[in-house]
Amino acid sequence: MASINLWITIPHHYAGWVRSYGMPDVWERFKDRLIIGPIAIVAFTILGLQFA
């Protein structure tokens, strides 16, 4: 089941990344969110793993 889920979701994530980071108009509109978002996700994940 996990392999089917990955087979379906990975192409959608890849298309979203290409659109977000590859299109200049979308990049300018969401630049702050696209930079701060992944940093915040990783930071909260590390913080959660330390206190779990």
What is the predicted pLDDT for the residue at 1?
Answer: 63
What is the predicted pLDDT for the residue at 46?
Answer: 97
d(CA 34, CA 8): 23
Asked whether 21 and 34 are in contact (CB, 8 A), the reply is yes
Asked whether 26 and 19 are in contact (CB, 8 A), the reply is yes
Predicted confidence (pLDDT) per residue in 1-52, tens digit = 667 777 888 888 888 888 888 889 888 998 998 899 999 999 999 999 998 8
d(CA 41, CA 36): 9
- Please indicate, yes or no, whether the overall pTM of this predicted structure exceeds 0.85: no
Instruction: End-to-end CA distance of the chain: give it in Å, rounded.
Output: 27
